[in-house]
Amino acid sequence: DSGVTQTPKHLITATGQRVTLRCSPRSGDLSVYWYQQSLDQGLQFLIQYYNGEERAKGNILERFSAQQFPDLHSELNLSSLELGDSALYFCASSPENSDPYNEQFFGPGTRLTVL
């Protein structure tokens, strides 16, 4: 699959725990975006990385962090999990950072359930 991939598909964990979500962008795409989709908040932008550097930050909690590695894959770390963190987490990638018209290609998402 040459599209955006995300692992795992599903994750069930308990409050207070820490999890790592992984995203591999499309081949050649330098930008990675993370979004959170919850029932009450809709689809919200969390953070963007471009070629290993953080480029934009949205409504990302301090308990959450992300990074993009030299091979351009990205990880979103969620710690001290709360029930309200249960959501679908999407990763998207696009080829360039400077063009706001660029299409973002979305992954299938990781469904996180915090019990």
Rg, C-alpha atoms of the chain: 13
Question: Shortest distance, CB of residue 14 to other proteins, whole angstroms?
Answer: 29
Q: Which of residues 60-89 bind other proteins (CB under 8 A)?
A: none
Q: Which of residues 1-60 bind other proteins (CB under 8 A)?
A: 3-4, 31, 33, 35, 42-45, 48, 55-56, 58
Question: Shortest distance, CB of residue 21 to other proteins, whole angstroms?
Answer: 16
Q: Which stretch binds other proteins (CB under 8 A): 19-27, 60-68, 70-78, 92-100?
A: 92-100
Our CB check for other proteins shows the closer of 27 and 98 to be 98
Its sign, for the CA torsion 104, 66, 62, 57, is negative
Burial class (CB within 10 angstroms; exposed 0-12, middle 13-18, buried 19+) of 41? exposed
Burial class (CB within 10 angstroms; exposed 0-12, middle 13-18, buried 19+) of 53? exposed
Please identify which residue in 94, 110, 112, 114 interacts with other proteins, judged by CB under 8 A.
94
Owner of token pair 């987490």 = 89
Our CB check for other proteins shows the closer of 13 and 104 to be 104
